[in-house]
Amino acid sequence: MLMLLRRPVELMCLITLHFGPYPPALVPLVHTSFHNAIDFAPPQALKNKTINILAAADGTILNTGFNSAYGNFIIISHITPQNLMLTFYCHLEKIKLFRGSNVLRREKIATMGTTGISTGKHLHFMLATLGPSGINFIDPEPHFA
CB 113 within 8 A of CB 74: no
CB 117 within 8 A of CB 30: yes
Q: Which residues pair with 138 in a beta bridge?
A: 127
Q: How far is it, in rounded angstroms, from Cα 97 to Cα 37?
A: 22
Listed ranges 21-29, 32-40, 44-52, 70-78: which one lies at the site for Zn ion (CB under 5 A): 32-40
Q: How far is it, in rounded angstroms, from Cα 120 to Cα 41?
A: 9
Residue 124 binds to Zn ion (criterion: CB under 5 A)? yes
Comparison of 36 and 101: residue with beta carbon closer to Zn ion: 36
User: How many degrees, rounded to 5, is the angle at CA 106 between CA 139 and CA 116?
Assistant: 60
DSSP state of 11: T
Residue 121 binds to Zn ion (criterion: CB under 5 A)? no
Q: Which amino acid makes up residue 77?
A: S
Residues 81-120 vs Zn ion: string with x where CB under 5 A? ----------------------------------------
Comparison of 22 and 129: residue with beta carbon closer to Zn ion: 22
Listed ranges 29-37, 52-60, 63-71, 129-137: which one lies at the site for Zn ion (CB under 5 A): 29-37
Among 3, 19, 39, 140, binds Zn ion (CB under 5 A): 39
Binding site for Zn ion (CB under 5 A): 37, 39, 124
